[in-house]
């Protein structure tokens, strides 16, 4: 079980949150990028072995959306929201 740092509530149990998926790179301009890059952005979900940037929603708490860096090997939160308590 993870303790996720919420900027409003402080560290809270993972069960209070909903997973919002990994943060994707910025959307490329479709008319200015090649098919390969466009399909890569559209269909490939970041899934590194190591830290990944993710969005989480404190749905059963204060309702804040937050971004963390989580190590997929250990579930350690290596970087939380800047102003998390």
Partner 1 sequence: MGYDASFERLPINACFDLKGSESALGEWMGAELLPGFPTEANRCCKADGLSLDHVGPCRWLLQADIDREAELNAALRPHAAPAEASIVRISDTMTTFRVAGADAAHVLAIGCPLDLHDTAFPEDAVSFTEFFGHKALVRRCAGGFDVSVEQSFGDMTEDCLARALR
Residues near partner 1, by CB under 8 A: 7-10, 12-13, 15-16, 59-64, 85
Min separation Cβ 78 and partner 1, Å? 22
State which residue, 13 or 44, has the beta carbon closest to partner 1. 13
Q: In what order do the strands lie in the sheet with 65-71?
A: 18-22, 51-57, 65-71, 77-79
Sorted by sequence, the CB contacts under 8 Å of residue 44 that are 6+ apart come out as none
CB contact at 8 A, 68 and 6: no
State which residue, 15 or 74, has the beta carbon closest to partner 1. 15
Min separation Cβ 77 and partner 1, Å? 17
């Amino acid at each position: 079980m993870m303790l996720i740092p919420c900027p409003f509530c402080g560290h809270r149990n993972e069960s209070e949150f909903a997973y919002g998926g990994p943060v994707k790179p910025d959307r490329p301009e479709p008319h200015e990028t090649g098919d390969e890059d466009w399909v890569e952005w559209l269909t490939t979900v970041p899934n590194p072995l190591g830290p990944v940037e993710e969005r989480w929603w404190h749905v059963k708490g204060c309702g804040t959306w937050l971004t963390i860096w989580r190590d997929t090997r250990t579930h350690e939160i290596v970087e939380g929201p800047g102003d998390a308590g």
